Amino acid sequence: MRLATMLCLFLLTAVPPLHATVIDHLEPANWWIGMKRNRVELMVHGEGIAAATPKLQRAGVAIVDVQKTENPNYLFVTVEVAADAKPGAFDIEFVEGGKVVAKHPWRLDARAPGSAQRRGFDKRDAIYLITPDRFANADPRNDSAAGMKEAANRSDPNGRHGGDIAGIRKHLDYIAGLGFTQMWITPVLENNQPGFSYHGYAITDLYGTDPRFGSNDDYRALSKEARARGVGLIMDVVLNHIGSEHWWMKDLPSADWINNGGKFTPDNHRRTTIQDPHAAPGDRKGFLEGWFAEAMPDLNQRNPHLATYLIQNSLWWIEYAGLSGIREDTFGYSDTDFLSVWAKAVMDEYAGFAMVGEEWSANPAIVAHWQHGKANPDGHVPYMTSMMDFPVHIALRDALVRPEGWDGGWTPLYEALANDFLYPDPDDLVVFAENHDTTRALAQVNGDVGLWKLAMAYVATVRGIPQFYYGSEVLIEGPHERKDGELRADMPGGWVGDQANAFTGAGLSAAQRDAQDYVRKLFQWRKRTPVLHTGKLQHFAPVDGVYVYFRYDGKKTVMVALNRNPQASTLAMDRFSDFAKPGDRANDVLAGKAVTLGTSLALPAKSATILELD
């Protein structure tokens, strides 16, 4: 009897008792039938879950692989979806010792018709960039949210001001009315950080919209409603880092999930090390593995489970929200091989999709490295359809303020465009005068509206895909030195009680109304002018403060003359006889009148003259 009792006590202490396990996270929560990527790896997180065996009973769905890491709180379960599977919800069970210790719902959905054939943004489009916290607050009830560490404080330039998805939805007609056909919205995913959470780049939930912006359903509704107005939605994706309050940081899936052992090590920002044949390996590592900030842990995409997670996350959002494009943040900072695999996976799934990467360099050779079709000496094969044209952006801003001289005035811009031979397809680059990370173009030119108009005209008429930053159409100027919270100013009229309203025009000054009309006329005209989308470009060396180029396609010709001089200029036309001759008739796009060309052309001071030639 005593022996039997001792044996029972031994068995109770030697074998852990079975207990119910709580599944804290299972991502992604669903997938779609008919995807080329029909195998999806589920990240399952729950205390002790690695001791359990996942099982499911659903026709057309099978578990084909299960992997563990050194953390017993994670399982990576690969599910294969057959082409003949049916939509619907079912449970995935987790079994231990012959008993179900946990279960979690999962779902298969039918794809939207034509999903795989969707059109991404391209040179026919013009992009309106929005910082959602600063655009419009249509639902004050979500300005602060339970469980979110930072509450709204509109008086703080670096705090949350309350702009939301509802505010963008409310003003879609305004955006479309300006002539824009795409919206790039800075990240709206959860940023449950104690401060500076408004900008969205320290993500704490890669599958969940921040409740202070709205819900996943709200984001999807925004995409659908925008599409109905001819406006696509471009999602801002962050592959390089997460927020320090992401739930992973409390229980890392594996020891190598975060670079530098999960400890803050500042990035050296030496982006040239990726291609530099002379770069020290330590410098290259310092660029790829360093952290942007202590609040932004740097992800190690060399970990195969993390790489798969990030790829699936991008595909999930494209399919779920009906996206027309991705803007990828801090592009070159992620693992180089991973970037190729990630972009290829997206383009394999959606052949007509578009993605633009941020590579903040004045050197076009550095930027061109990442565009699809580039033959790189280091063997890297890129799949990005587009890149942000920072070389032209930097040259444009320089050209507007640099004094005249043999290497001054428009010369930096003229020579920057001459570097197009480095790109596989320069027509697919995104051109811009400003964005959410730069001072405003109006601040760059010290409030000179004439020079600002020149910048807008250039972006709208040069080769590439133009991107415009919200609020500039009503002359938001912002600080002259980069102060992010101030340059990302509130859109006038986006909040109840605002004295001026960009959306209705109430309270705007004459200068603001004129600027808004200028942008509307420019981009509505661009929208209906195919030669600006697909036409060739020929430019002429700037002379005496005037830069001239032509867009042409054999059917239509557009002449653009940019005069940055503080006085009117007379442009001799003999240099341009291949495109325009005395007696030719033209339409002055901005003045809205017909003109007959002579031997010279009068150019008003600090202005763009745009002529459609008959």
Integer Cα distance of 418 and 593 in angstroms: 33
- pLDDT on residue 19: 56
End-to-end CA distance of the chain: 109
Residue 259 has pLDDT above 80, yes or no: yes
Beta strands in 283-425 (DSSP E): 325-328, 355-357, 386-387
Instruction: Reply yes or no on whether 329 is catalytic.
Output: yes
pLDDT at 391 over 60: yes
Average pLDDT, the chain: 96
pLDDT digits (tens, 9 = 90+) for 69-98: 999 999 999 999 999 999 999 999 999 999
Region of poorest pLDDT, from 3-7, 468-472, 489-493: 3-7
Is the backbone of residue 345 left (phi > 0), alpha (psi -120 to 50) or beta?
alpha
Domains 25-110 and 126-230+326-532 share a fold: no
CATH architecture, range 25-110: Sandwich (2.60)
Residue 165 above 60 pLDDT?
yes
Verify whether residue 294 is a known catalytic residue: no
Could you give the dihedral angle defined by the CA atoms of residues 413, 418, 420 and 421, in that order, rounded to the nearest 10 degrees? -160
- Calpha distance 137→144 (Å, rounded): 12
Alpha helices in 102-215 (DSSP H): 165-170, 172-177
Distance (Å, whole) CA 49 – CA 19 = 11
**317-326 mean pLDDT:** 98
- Residue 43 pLDDT > 50: yes
Rounded to an integer, the average pLDDT of 182-191 is: 98
Interstrand relation of 99-110 and 30-33 (parallel, antiparallel or unpaired): parallel
Q: How confident is the model at residue 4 (pLDDT cuts 50, 70, 90)?
A: very low
Active-site choice (329, 335, 389, 473): 329
Element (H, E) at 45: strand 39-45
Per DSSP, the three-state class of 564 is: coil
Name the CATH topology of 535-613: Immunoglobulin-like (2.60.40)
Confidence (pLDDT) at 20: 64
Break the chain into its structural domains and give their ranges.
25-110, 126-230+326-532, 535-613
Strands (E), 470-535: none
Task: Say which CATH class 126-230+326-532 falls into.
Answer: alpha beta
Question: Who contacts 97 (Cβ-Cβ below 8 Å, separation ≥6)?
Answer: 18
Euclidean distance between CA atoms 149 and 491, whole angstroms: 25
Q: pLDDT tens digits for 202-241? A: 999 999 999 999 999 999 999 999 999 999 999 999 999 9
Rounded mean pLDDT, 95-106 = 96
Question: 66-77 pLDDT, tens per residue?
Answer: 999 999 999 999
Q: What is the mean pLDDT of residues 316-330?
A: 98
pLDDT at 493 exceeding the cut of 80? yes
Model pLDDT, residue 15: 41
Q: 433 with 150: CB under 8 angstroms?
A: no
Average pLDDT over residues 158-184: 98
Q: What are phi and psi of 562, to 5 degrees?
A: -105, 115
Q: Distance between CA 181 and CA 495 in Å, rounded?
A: 25
User: Quick check: 34 and 350 in contact, CB under 8 A?
Assistant: no
Which of 358, 398, 420, 477 is the catalytic position?
A: 358
Instruction: Give the pLDDT band of residue 399 (cuts 50, 70, 90).
Output: very high
Residue 1 pLDDT class (50, 70, 90 cuts): very low
pLDDT per residue over 540-575, tens digit each?
A: 999 999 999 999 999 999 999 999 999 999 999 999
Cis peptide before 28 (omega within 30 of 0): yes
> Regarding beta strands 88-96 and 99-110, do their DSSP bridges make them parallel or antiparallel, or are they unpaired?
antiparallel
Tell me the Cα Rg of the chain.
27
Distances (CA, A) of 215 to 204, 210, 309, 439: 15, 7, 21, 31
- The model carries a pTM of 0.96
CA dist., res. 353 & res. 117, Å (int): 8
Residues in contact with 330: Cβ distance below 8 Å, sequence separation at least 6, in sequence order: 238, 239, 240, 241, 292, 358
Torsion angles phi and psi, residue 17, rounded to 5? -70, 145
**pLDDT of the residue at 6:** 44
Closest by CA position to 416, among listed 385, 394, 439, 448: 394
Q: What angle do CA 544, 545, 546 make, to 5 degrees?
A: 95
Checking if the pLDDT of 3 tops 50, the result is no
Confidence band for 21, pLDDT divided at 50, 70 and 90: confident
